[in-house]
Amino acid sequence: MDQSRHALIVANDRYDDQGLRQLRSPAQDALALAEVLGDPQVGDFDVEVLRNEPVHAIRRVVERFFSEGGRDDTLMLHFSCHGLKSESGSLYFAARDTEPRLLEATAVSAQFVRHCMSRTRARRTVLFLDCCYGGAFSRGASGVRASEDVHVLESFGGEQAGGRGWAVITASNSMEYAFEGADLAEGSAPRPSVFTHAVVEGLTTGEADLDADGKVSLDELYDYVFDHVRRQNPNQTPGRTVDMQGDLYLAHSRRRRIVPRPLPQALRRAVEDPDFYTRLGALAELRARMQDTDLSVALGARQALAEMAQNDIRIVSDEARRALAESELRPDPDSLDFGRVPLNSVAPHRPVRLLGPPLARDCGPQPARPGQDWLRAAETPEGLDVSIDTATAGRRSGELRLKGAVGEAVVRVEAEVVPEPAGTTTPPRPPSPPSSVPSSPPPPPPSRPRPPSPTQTAGPAGGPRHTASAGGGAAGRRGRGRPQGGATVGMPRPAAAGTPAHDAPPERSLRAPGLAAAALALALASVATVAWAAVRAGSAAEERVATGDSIDLSEHVHDFGVLPPLIAALITAVAALVLCAYARHELASGVRRPTPWASGTARSLAWTAMFLSVASLALGALMAIAYPITNHFW
């Protein structure tokens, strides 16, 4: 390895042993963490992911990971799996083929990981343990049983001989979760754990950069994760042990502290002047400075306006409050409804403009609540590009929180992913109008590109990712170094009562191709029948010529059976045209459309059947008209 940053993520959510069952989180943990660590604008790690591998593969990769580290490398190892305590008190991490009664041979021991960390040449190593800890398997028991505390950090205590600095951070330092048989984690949809979700959110949004210096240190990340986890689950306590000199910075941060610039002396004297007319004039200057693209100038003016709104006389404070209201962040629109979106279709996108001065638009999208992995937001020069994940069916309702220097705003998002083929999206309901603000223009139609606002500023787009197993972007704050991608986390909810069912049964989706195929069959039968009638009519005419005037033409037509197939051909052609009309009606229906391939096939069959039916009908009609005329004169 060259001198760089490397991360290895080990995630197991499938186990051969029935007692371990399944975990809800590791699959999502691996993808979310690999994405943010591999983002060159955030973690800038070279990421490798091991998912559901046997124990021998995990051991081999872990040992190689630490043994190949260079002196100036930063190495991060993350485990998301079951943590098991043996009857002797040793800690193990479960692999796919772990047998609880043979932990020494079939699981990765904490002692093995500690030994690999101690032998590495890398000066900075970090171990994250997001594990659900269970006690020893009792003889005759079928599930993991709770016993005394695991005390995870004690397994990694002591001196690490090889590296100069190391740290271990664990989601829980003791057995705060116990499992029994099938109660491990069944019946829930996969979603990131509270611990890893906090790590991903803190790095993605920059909120873990507590001092807003543009870098996220190990201590800052731990403090952020600790507070986040305790708020979400008071029964879970993250722990850490560190032996490291100086700070270890794990990620870059798009969060930057805006230092307000003091007002010029002349303006400050006007703001404090006893004459309220002078203060009103100063207020107008503060309002103009609040529109400045230099955010420190704008923030200094805003703070002065806030002081006047709170402490000045009513006529001045009211005007200051109106000026502050004009500088608020205003998303346009403030709600999005994607309507019905087909399952596994291309992710739809909707733009959201951010209105207000540059200071208000200096913000970034964040999840309003945990459990919104289906909702994504990427920053654009005009505001946000919001999209949804279509991998799972269900009704979705979520919120994006926009947090910046002037406060917060919320964008509500609604969608319904239905198990219909791609290309059948029902047009969504029009978005709700933006908040009633005098200076806010009405939202333009979403189909037209919106020209950028003359007061908006945009940071440069972030570069592409280069992870070994996951791609995409991570949403950050507006301003310098802003990436293009972003992700928030969420969970779908079931459809509301009264919502119509959208699962199109197979026979409905195949109705149009079936009708078109039947129409084509009837059209071919009609062509064949009218051709047979024409052949028989020709034979009757030849016989009439051969016999002369002794026998009337109608006798020959009757003898050769010309009329029955002619009538059948006409009826069949009309029936084929009726089926074509029904098939075309089904294709135009928004609910009963088939797949794109079947739709194209149905159209081809319907047009072919229509052409053949019209030709057969025309030929049959000519024969039906020619027969009485010929019989009368011949």
Q: List, for residues 36-48, the tens digit of each pLDDT value.
A: 899 888 889 999 9
- The neighbour count for residue 64, using CB atoms within 10 Å, is 12
Q: Distance between CA 225 and CA 232 in Å, rounded?
A: 10
Exposed (0-12), middle (13-18) or buried (19+): which is 390, by Cβ within 10 Å?
A: buried
pLDDT above 90: residue 632: no
Confidence band of 501 (pLDDT split at 50, 70, 90): very low
Q: Is the pLDDT of residue 252 over 50?
A: yes
The fraction of the chain above a pLDDT of 90, given in percent, is 22
pLDDT confidence bin for 144, thresholds 50/70/90: very low
Banded pLDDT at 631 (limits 50, 70, 90): low
Q: Are 130 and 9 in contact (CB under 8 A)?
A: no
Checking if the pLDDT of 147 tops 50, the result is no
Of 168 and 135, more confident: 168
Angle between helices 55-67 and 110-119 (to 10 degrees): 20
Helix (H) or strand (E) holding 115: helix 110-119
pLDDT at 64 (0 to 100): 95
Res 10: pLDDT: 94
Q: Is 207 left (phi over 0), alpha (psi -120 to 50) or beta?
A: alpha
pLDDT score of 90 = 83
**Alpha-carbon span 53 to 39, nearest angstrom:** 25
- Residue 60 has a pLDDT of 96
What gap in Å lies between CA 290 and CA 292, rounded to an integer? 5
Query: For residue 528, what are its two tokens?
Result: 């064949």
- Higher confidence at residue 213 or residue 469? 213
> 207, 366 in Cβ contact below 8 A?
yes
Please answer whether residues 605 and 513 qualify as being in contact, where contact means their C-beta atoms are separated by less than 8 angstroms: yes
Residue 380 CA to residue 358 CA, distance in Å, equals 14
Would you give the DSSP letter of residue 352?
E
pTM: 0.49
The pLDDT, as a whole number, for residue 78 is 93
3-state DSSP assignment of residue 541? helix
Tokens of 238: 């993250």
pLDDT recorded at residue 137: 36
Output the pLDDT for position 107: 93
Comparing 25 with 340, which gets the higher pLDDT?
340
Which of 160-174, 457-471, 536-550, 559-573 has the weakest average pLDDT?
457-471
Query: Which pLDDT score, from 0 to 100, does residue 231 have?
Result: 83
Using CB atoms within 10 Å of the CB of residue 513, give its burial: 0 to 12 exposed, 13 to 18 middle, 19+ buried.
buried
For residues 367 and 63, the model is more confident at 63
**CB-based contacts of 525: which residues, under 8 Å, 6+ apart?**
572
pLDDT of residue 590: 46
Are 18 and 180 within 8 A, CB to CB? no
- At 233 the pLDDT is 78
Encoded tokens for 605: 């069959």
Pairwise CA distance, residues 367 & 488, whole Å:
5
Segment 422-441 mean pLDDT: 45
For residue range 524-582, list pLDDT tens digits in order. 988 888 888 888 888 877 776 777 655 566 776 776 777 888 888 889 888 888 888 88
Give the separation between CA 520 and CA 632, rounded to whole angstroms: 37
Instruction: Give the closest residue to 488 by CA, choosing from 339, 615, 377.
Output: 377
pLDDT winner (highest mean) among 167-181, 377-391, 421-435: 377-391
Q: What value does the mean pLDDT take over residues 1-29?
A: 78
pLDDT for 185 beyond 80: no
The pLDDT assigned to 23 comes to 65
Domain 5-252 has CATH 3.40.50.450: no
Looking at residue 24, its pLDDT comes to 61
Tell me what the mean pLDDT of segment 434-442 comes to: 41
CB 264 within 8 A of CB 187: no
Separation of alpha carbons 86 and 167, rounded Å: 24
For 283-339, write each residue's pLDDT tens digit.
Answer: 999 999 999 999 899 999 999 999 999 999 999 999 999 999 988 889 999 999 999
Average pLDDT of span 583-587: 75
Q: How far is CA 87 from CA 105, 150, 181, 421, in A?
A: 15, 11, 18, 53
Q: What is the mean pLDDT of the chain?
A: 75
What is the spatial distance between Cα 475 and Cα 484, in angstroms, rounded to a whole number? 7
Spell out the domain ranges in the chain: 5-252, 265-326, 506-633
Selected residue with higher pLDDT from 247 and 498: 247
As a whole number of angstroms, the distance between CA 6 and CA 218 comes to 16
429 pLDDT above the threshold of 70 = no
Query: In this predicted structure, what is the pLDDT of residue 191?
Result: 54
In angstroms, rounded to a whole number, what is the distance separating the alpha carbons of residues 624 and 567?
9
Helices (H) and strands (E) in the chain — how many of each? 16, 18
Amino acid identity of 538?
G
Quote the pLDDT of residue 616.
84
The predicted structure's pLDDT at residue 59: 95
Q: Is the pLDDT confidence value at 594 over 70?
A: no
Looking at residues 67-86, what average pLDDT do you find? Answer: 89
Alpha helices, H only, 39-79: 55-67
Q: What is the DSSP string of 258-271?
A: PPPPPPPHHHHHHH
Is residue 377 within 8 Å of residue 400, measured between CB atoms? yes
The reply to whether omega before 333 is within 30° of 0 (cis) is yes
State yes or no: pLDDT of 610 exceeds 50.
yes
How long, in residues, is the chain? 634
